[in-house]
Amino acid sequence: SRYLTVAMGQLGPIQRADSRASVVARLCAMMREAKALGAQLIVYPELALTTFFPRWYIEDPQELHAFYETTMPNADTQPLFDLARELGIGFYLGYAELAQEADGLHQYNTSILVNQQAEIIAKYRKVHVPGHSEHEPWRRFQHLEKRYFESGPGFGVTEAFGGVMGMALCNDRRWAETYRVLALQRCEMVFIGYNTPVHNAPAPQHDDLSLFHNQLSLQAGAYQNGMWVVGVAKGGLEEGVDSIGGSCIVAPSGEVISRCITKDDEVQVARCDLDWCAIYKRTTFDFDLHRRPHAYGLITAK
Ligand code: ING
């Protein structure tokens, strides 16, 4: 057995006026709780440092960039890294990244994986950026991720915490390709932070099914790839917009073995045996034995 005790650090709402310092204090409180519960790492949500700002049409670049991080760690997040080192606990954190690259400034919806020595060992940039890129005033609220974030290059894995770890973000969890591309790299556990409004403007019929679709996506991805899946929400009422909670940890069998039951800051843990992945990766989902790539060509078609 290769046990890994994982904590979900689910966040309740972050209002626009909430300072990063106040949010980091909440994250630190949950990190201490996770440590007390025996966790080796804690998984935080997507965009965990600020309110979900893509709900607004923001024209002023300076106002928009105030929601991004230009360095990581930085003055606001250093206390989280310091506490992680002190407690010897790793973490996954989602945030908006402003990246200075050779060809200029880029905006990503990013997550990092930090080890038990508080070193950043992996960075991921959201591939499936949902929503829309132009102001659509007909909506109760916007979902301008396509305006505010570029799509990242792809899905990678990192050997850490005794196994093969992967990262994804929010809408990625709805796409079967996310899990399969990770599983083809031997991924045993994937961390997925999310912010999911209850109301889905283009298809309000889905609203009552938002928690069901969340869990269905996580369970399917886990079972069909013999992977542990850790989905962690930022939920509750942010600036008048209600988002789902529903954080849960799914075993390679597809069974939910731990879940949060509020829409606030809540820590729940699960003791995950990474060896359970083999029960599926060596049988039903033995890719070498059973996959038929010759029939899958269309999957990568545009
Ligand atoms: N949020 C939502 C998500 O995929 C969404 C967007 C909601 C898409 C409902 C489709 C239906 O969970 C983010 N941040 O991706």
Tens digits of residue pLDDT in 42-68: 999 999 999 999 999 999 999 999 999
What pLDDT, on a 0 to 100 scale, did the predictor assign at position 106?
A: 98
How does DSSP assign 232-294, residue by residue? Answer: EEB-EEETTEEE----EEE-TTS-EEEE--SSSSEEEEEEEEGGGGHHHHTTTT-HHHH--GG
Mean pLDDT (the chain, rounded): 98
Which of 132, 149, 170, 207 has most ligand 1 atoms within 8 Å of its beta carbon, as the pocket-test mutant? 170
Mean pLDDT of 70-94: 98
pTM over 0.95: yes
Tens digits of residue pLDDT in 190-248: 999 999 999 999 999 999 999 999 999 999 999 999 999 999 999 999 999 999 999 99
ipTM: 0.95
200 touches ligand 1 (CB under 6 Å): yes
Report d(CA 288, CA 286) in Å as an integer: 6
247 touches ligand 1 (CB under 6 Å): no
What pLDDT, on a 0 to 100 scale, did the predictor assign at position 28?
A: 99
What pLDDT, on a 0 to 100 scale, did the predictor assign at position 104?
A: 96
